[in-house]
Amino acid sequence: MTQDDDRLTWDQPPAVGYDPQAPRPSEEVEHLGGDQNVELLPERQPWRSIMHGVGVIEQAVASVLLVMILVLVLAQVLSRYVPGTWVWTGEVARLSLVWTTFAIAGYLAAYDRHIAIHVVDWALRGRPLAAVQLFASVAVLVTCVLMMYAVYQLVATDVGGETPAAELPLRFVNAVPFIGFALVALRSIMRIVLVDLPAFRGRVETGS
């Protein structure tokens, strides 16, 4: 069994008890509702390795933030039974939840795992479907750019404010969404260039 273009191909003689009618692993996963999406990466090096590394960093940051949320929530519970006040734990836990959303947004976009309703995929095929997907990617890109501009204005006009409990600089707190929107915008550009435009030009298939 070898792997070619992220799909399993069988080039070895069938083993004893092999059933040619049985579903192959990829088909079985799809039948069970499994996710077969692969990471969207450039074809050339070193950009391919760089973007894959960015995805690994995104996963690591999101994992650390999730652990931080767990620890802070447990600390809130513990603070009810021990002397002292840890008011900042609740605030940082809420901020960490928001930061996790933006930290992992680009990674999810690279795997096309954001929540979506794929109704058009059942009604259209070929170039019309490619046109809709291209429009969707452009809409996501434009939205991210506009949000980046709004966040930039918010950070640029900051006068040194801090959060009430943890006293974190608002400039730092508001900079995290800018990074998240930038990573999603980058993945949107990659999807437009690597997937949507070639499909619209008829160079790749957009549906079966």
| CB neighbour class for 90 (10 Å; exposed up to 12, middle 13-18, buried from 19) | middle
List the domain boundaries for the chain.
39-200
Output the pLDDT for position 35. 53
CB 39 within 8 A of CB 30: no
Structure tokens at 109: 């976009």
Output the pLDDT for position 43. 86
Output the pLDDT for position 204. 57
Residue-by-residue pLDDT tens, the chain, 208 positions:
444 444 444 444 444 444 445 445 455 444 444 456 788 898 888 989 999 999 999 999 999 999 999 999 999 888 888 877 788 888 999 999 999 999 999 999 999 888 777 777 777 778 888 898 899 999 999 999 999 999 999 999 988 888 888 889 999 999 999 999 999 999 999 999 999 999 888 765 544 4
Cα(200)–Cα(205) distance, rounded to whole angstroms? 9
Residues 6+ apart with CB under 8 A from 98: 176, 177
Output the pLDDT for position 123. 78
Cα(198)–Cα(204) distance, rounded to whole angstroms? 6
Chain CA centroid to CA 69, Å? 20
- The Cβ-side half-sphere exposure at 38, using a 13 Å CA radius, reads 8
Helix 126-156 to helix 170-191 angle (10° resolution) is 160
Strand partners for 3:
8
Pairing mode, strands 2-4 and 7-9? antiparallel
